[in-house]
Chain A
Amino acid sequence: MFLQQLINGISVGGIYALIATGYALIYSLLGFSNWAHGEVAMFGAYIALTLVTRLSSPFLGALAFGILAAGVASVLNEKIAYKHIRDKGSPTMFLMIAAMGISTTYQNGAMVVFGPKFQMFPSMFDVTTIQLGSVSIGILDVISLITSAIALILLELLVNKSKVGLGIRTVASNSYTASLMGININRYFSLVFLIAGLLAGSAGVLLGLKYSVYPTMGNVGLKAFIASVLGGLGSVRGAIIGAIIIGVLETFVSGYLNSGLRDLFTFGLLILILLIKPSGLMGVDVEDKA
């Protein structure tokens, strides 16, 4: 039972991590939490669902297209709103307010277009479970765990080992200096929104397959936001660790106590950690330069 809960928790945490890393990436470049990011996941899920149910597209192709659509949506959010606010030199709070507006727009847009009901993907995988000794895991959990793991490893390699990653890290450390060095920082901003969007889209599709698709499913972005804050804003590894902690915590609270209390524990843990370490688990304490 314990081991099974743990694996379920990590699997859920993996999905959170896909979104949380997007928060971390965007924060490291732009210094704000783009918490319309969960809505991007929702958007990807709806596109994939629509392709499968209405246009009876090939299943995997539809999923891939949904993920791609989420990536594009994420870049559009940046191009349409955030970029203009940055160009005007407005305070960071305006970016957060814009994110709130975008999130409201997506949620209510989905409500208008797709209706408030919960929709399911046609079941592609039988509800089979894999038996490992005394532990039985749903096949979807295994798939989602493997997918998240692959995506996160690819992300780690991209950020830390590739030339593009070096560029991203340069812009993140100081976008002004980077622009003086002749780096086209706006290209990197778009790129990071694209990567973040693709990751969020994957999360959206996985969540849709596992549970269902509905207009407010983007609220999972809040969990991911908490995970990224817990791990330390701007830290990709911190976000992954934070996401897994939250996934496991939630699964255990639901399993052993009461699923209604899940969020209470999550937020309790968050506030506790912030009080002990105000910049999260892996965040760096930067003193503002005056």
Chain B
Amino acid sequence: MSGYWQEIFVLVGINFIVVLGVSILTGFTKLFSFGNAGFMSIGAYTSAILTTRFNVPFLLAVLAGAILAGLVGYGLGSLTLGLKGDYFLITTLGFGECVRVLFEYIQPVTGGAGGLSGITHYTDFTIVAISVVVAFIFAWTLIHSKYGRNLTAIREQEVAADAVGINTFKNKLLAFVVSAVYAGWAGGLYAHHLTYLEPKIFNLAKSAELTITTVIGGLGSLTGSFLGTCVVTLLPEVFRDLSTYRMLLYGIAVVVIITVKPSGLYGYKEFSITKIIRWFKNLSKRTSGTVEKGA
């Protein structure tokens, strides 16, 4: 694979990991959050500071960033997940902005608004590939287990979920923490890919972009999230001229999708080989059926 395509793969992979988290949170649990760029930022800065200042091994630093993001997610979620939709949304938005302002303010540690540079380029193809595989399998098995069923139950009908004994608060917290850990993890990889960090990389627009990606790909589908990530990451690479209009197009796309076809590219279903095989079998049956009739 050429360096260019490796680079693209790394970008898609990192974005996919964050989007998986947002997908679990928004697509499967129906929690709309604006804090995910904030969690990414926590993972990115934590790992970058650990590797540059304290010579901590790269993988350990990324892990530390992901865990810290998860802990902060646990704390924040415990405080705010009891709040209703809009109130919850505004607290996550506030959280994201606060993290940014805070990182700008504590200049001695983070380099402030001027940025943090000199991060070693550790993130390579292999580590991203392994991360994506692990993140995807964990997300897939989580969704296809009682945990995932509890989350979709909350999405579909929260009162009924409660009525069948699901601790909705605890399950929402699970989704929130998982999304925070994924964001922190991706943030760590991103920092050591970019080799340079600025608090404003992880602003509100970044959080919006993550949700936009999930919606374009299709809510309630990990496959959809993958497609969404590919589209959102690759389009501006393929059509360089479009980059000015990039966010404008995504904005319009989201409005159109959510009003006209809320399932996006591939929402509320998953790609599965067995289903495809079954579909082909049925197809051959149908065609052979018509042949018999014809004969």
Contacts and interface: CB of A to CB of B under 8 A. Distances in A.
A and B in direct contact, judged by CB atoms within 8 A = yes
Interface of A: 27, 32-33, 80-81, 84-85, 88, 90-94, 96-98, 100-109, 111-112, 219, 222, 225-226, 229, 233, 258, 260-261, 263-264, 266-268, 270-271, 274-275, 278-280, 288, 290
B232 to A, nearest CB: 12
B259 A85 contact: yes
B87 interface: yes
B90 A264 contact: no
A101 B91 contact: no
A32 B251 contact: no
A102 B251 contact: yes
A112 B101 CA distance: 27
Nearest to B113: A260
The dominant DSSP class at the B interface is helix
A100 B250 CA distance: 11
A105 B252 contact: yes
B201 to A, nearest CB: 16
A132 to B, nearest CB: 34
Contacts, number: 135
B251 A229 contact: no
Nearest to B159: A290
A98 B258 contact: yes
Interface string B81-112: 01111110111011101100110110000000
Sort chain B's interface into a size bin: 35 or more
Given A101-B255, A271-B94, A109 B87 contact: no
A98 B259 contact: yes
B254 A267 contact: no
A264 B208 CA distance: 20
Contact of A92 (B85, B247, B254): B85
A270 B91 contact: yes
B159 A104 contact: no
